[in-house]
Structure 1
Amino acid sequence: MTTSDERPGATVLHFIPDERFGGPQQRVLQVSQALRKSGFRSIVVMPRGDDSFARMLSGAGIPCYRPYTFKRIRPTRNPLSHLVWLAYFVPSTLSLARIIRKERIDIVQTAASPLYLQGPFAAKLAGAKLVCCLEGMGTPKPLKAIVTPFIRHLPDRIITVSNAVRQFFFGEREVGKGVAVIHPPVDTSRFRPNPKSADKYRKEFGIDAGTKVVGTVGNINPDKGYEYFVSAARLIKDSFPEVKFVVVGKHLDTQEEYWNHLQASIAGASMEADFIWAGHRTDVPEMMNLMDVFVLGSVLEGAGMVIMEAMASGKPVVGTRVGGIPELIVDGETGTIVPPKDPKAIADAVLHLLRHPDQAREMGMRGRKRAIETFDVAICARKHQEMYEDILRRPS
């Protein structure tokens, strides 16, 4: 195994358990691109399936392995599906260890779910340093009790995307070789105010110039609390008729029942014409400029990268008091924090911003300043680089 003293930077393998594009995937892509300038090389290993993230990696010149032995855990009650995953556990671990040796990997960094212990085990088998990045708070208690001892003691360093995630997994306990809280990055050069781009989207979606837009971004799943966003929309519409609601996010085939529930709620309120479901978009930085107020009504959230993206875009934000969201928003200055599962609180916060556009504009300006100074991708990449260099200096 070569070290950083023998060549510039180092080679980092990112082990990602989900091939679909989302927050963890975006973090890997942005940090890998930023660290390339410092001589760090990145490789990604992930399951087969959706090709959207794989195409992004290819476009960025980042190699990607997708071994057939590596399976994603699917949300199903069918025990056979989980047995298949378990049957592939050892083969996928050995396959990953072979890739680590072949590519002369210095550091293995796991992403998202701690349930995929193939990454930690393969890193140890192949003699690579190990970083575990914990990004969510949805691990069921029984499974958390099983995997947490491994996650506490195997890695050379642990990253959590918020203090809330650290607390969720470890409480106040001492953790192995230490935990670094590194919030997800936002590319403030891409997410930036550009009011002119809003006109294009108003035309695309048929939104009149005088109509306000309340928006949110995130794949359609219960963790994002869309049912509360829909209920809040009804209250907002009752008091402020000239408003549209824009949702940017993928309609996942695994969430068909939830999707149907949302559509039934909207139809029951006769609000079909008030909602615009934009689906998955690659132009989110530009679309942010369409929104007058950004809302994230999550009931479960490790950090909330889209909050930072909205702030960087100069938008006032309304977010729920869950997970790492309160660590991002300065309540009353860059946005408003509301209780989770409370449509009235969401509606009241949004209505206040719609009725006080000058205050909303000032919040947006302060939010962008905070995003640049605290969450920019360059800051996140520097923290990763410092951590990697520290790990590589330490004896195995």
Structure 2
Amino acid sequence: MGKNVLMLHSSSDLYGASRILLYSVDFLQQEGYKVYVVLSEEGPLAEELRKIGTEVIIQRLGILRRKYFNPKGLFNRAQVLWKAKKVLKRWIVEKNIDIIYSNTSAVLVGAWLAYSTGKRHIFHLHEIIVSPFWLGKFLGMLIQKTSDQVIVVSQAVYDNWKDKIEEKKLHLIYNGLDYTPFLEGNKSIREQVAPPEKDKIWIGMIGRVSHWKGQGYFLDLAKILSEKYSNIHFIIAGDAFPGTEHLLSEMQEKIRTLGLGERVSYLGFRSDVADLLQSLDIFVLPSILPDPLPTVILEAMASAIPVIATAHGGACEMVKEGETGLLIPWNDPQKAANQIGMLIENPSVRTAMGLAGRKRAMEMFSKESFQRKFIALYENN
């Protein structure tokens, strides 16, 4: 109780890991902890943190992203990390920091700070790193050497790290959300996106536009399904990390190439996710690499929408096959489209799966359970 915590995070957006950080800060402050959050830039997350009374420090942290996986990029990261360490080491002394918390494995400076100051260090891992092999091995060694406790967000994440990090350090804590907005959303967004058409079935995905989130695979599915069903429309929401905007251009070019301009609406980043989800009939998250524990799946479940996800990563722990949704292959669009077609043709099944998903989200991935386990980890040294 009453300890000072320095929390380091990889972005200032409001996607999954950032949303979980916001909850985590709020939990700690409610329990009397003094929390300082360090972000590399201003953004929506910084604004939300200030609203709950959190002191936000803007300092470039040298976040490790794939675009830096080259000699020039790694040299750049080393320079930024060195500067961040010097600045934050002074903060640790000035603010009498007791605990350093690093949210996501892309934040490396916290490990360096903990090692050099001897402060207690908690790593919160949201990633499954399949490739490159050297990166997973390097991060595993770093986290093992510099952390006291490591939170993992799913069994799939646990399994990915257990051969690199001592299992006694690993703590599985499922993310949990405040589902109120997703229970109270409305469907007005349909009129904003496309002319309303009776009996039109909306199928959508929401997520960062990236090389692995599956926007391209989603379009492959849309092409196959559009050739069979005339009463469907597809929605893609989400933007790209700064510096990877070319992925947006590639996605939009694929929409044109496949002739899907009339069948697919790309909405960019949306702040009204609850209303967008309530507008969908089917939610799809077609990640082509294992997704650790996608927060958006929990949001879709709470919105009483059947969830279709690729059958790897944390989705396998979230979606109950045939009951709350479907698990599809990540490399066979024809087979996956056939499975989705079953839901398109059966509205009663969609309704039943959606309601079962809402119940599962509220029971297994509650905000209260997440809060209780998260705070307990801080209080049990």
- TM-score, length-scaled by structure 2: 0.92
Mapped pair 1:352 → 2:342 = yes
Shift of 1:77: 6.3
The worse-fitting range, judged by mean Cα deviation, of 175-184 and 77-86 is 77-86
Say which of 341, 344, 353 aligns to 1:363: 353
Give the Cα–Cα distance (whole angstroms) in 2 for the partners of residues 341 and 95 of structure 1.
46
Question: Which runs of structure 2 are paired with 1:182-197 in the superposition (5 Å)?
Answer: 182-192=173-183, 194=185, 197=186
Q: Which amino acid aligns with 1:43?
A: Y
8 Å Cα contact 1:247-1:277 kept in structure 2: yes
Q: For 1:65 and 1:376, how far apart are their aligned partners in 2? A: 30
Q: Is 1:383 matched with 2:373?
A: yes
71-80 vs 120-129, greater mean Cα deviation:
71-80
Q: Please state if 1:23 is matched with 2:16.
A: yes
Normalised by the length of structure 1, the TM-score is 0.89
The one of 203, 214, 231 equivalent to 1:214 is 203
Which residue in 2 is equivalent to 1:165?
Answer: 157
Label 1:346 to 1:193 Cα distance change in 2 as closer, same or farther (>3 A).
farther
Name the CA distance, whole Å, in 2 between partners of 1:100 and 1:88: 18
Q: Does 1:257 align with 2:260?
A: no
Percent identity over paired residues: 26
Contact map agreement 1:93 1:122 (CA 8 A) in 2: yes
Relative distance call for 1:193 and 1:365 in structure 2 (3 A) is farther
Residue identity in the other structure for 2:155: N
What does 1:124-273 align with in structure 2 at a 5 Å threshold? 124-138=115-129, 140-171=132-163, 175=166, 177-192=168-183, 194=185, 197-198=186-187, 200-206=188-194, 207-273=196-262
Residue 275 of structure 1 and its aligned partner are, at CA, apart by 1.1
Report how far residue 184 of structure 1 moved.
2.2
Superposed CA deviations along residues 63-115 of structure 1, whole A, max 9, x for unmatched, are: 111125x333451566333312212333322322222232222321111125x
Q: Indicate yes or no: 2:322 matched with 1:328.
A: no
Measured at CA, do residues 249 and 174 of structure 1 come closer, stay the same or move farther in structure 2, by a change above 3 Å?
A: closer
Q: CA deviation at 1:356?
A: 1.0
| 8 Å contact from structure 2 (residues 150, 170) kept in 1 | yes
CA RMSD of aligned residues (A): 2.1
Q: Which letter maps to 2:26?
A: Q
Equivalence for 1:93? 85
Q: CA deviation at 1:137?
A: 2.0
Cα shift at 1:348: 2.0
Deviations 1:230-285 (A, max 9, x none): 01011111222111111110144433333233222221222112111111111101
Output the amino acid matched with 1:38.
E
On the 8 A contact 1:57/1:64 being kept in 2, the answer is: yes
Describe the shift of the 1:174–1:274 C-alpha distance in structure 2 as closer, same or farther (beyond 3 A): closer
In structure 2, the gaps of 5 or more residues are none
Is 1:47–1:67's contact at 8 Å kept on the other side of the alignment?
yes
2:270 is the counterpart of 1:281: yes
Aligned partners of 1:91, 1:47: CA distance in 2, in Å?
12
Alpha carbons 1:225, 1:341 under 8 Å: kept: no
Runs of 4+ in 1 over 6 A off after TM superposition: none
Deviations 1:215-238 (A, max 9, x none): 111011121111110010111112
Q: How far apart in 2 are the matches of 1:43 and 1:222?
A: 32
After superposition, give the CA deviation of every residue in 1:331-354 in whole Å (9 maximum; x if it has no partner).
Answer: 111111111122223322222112
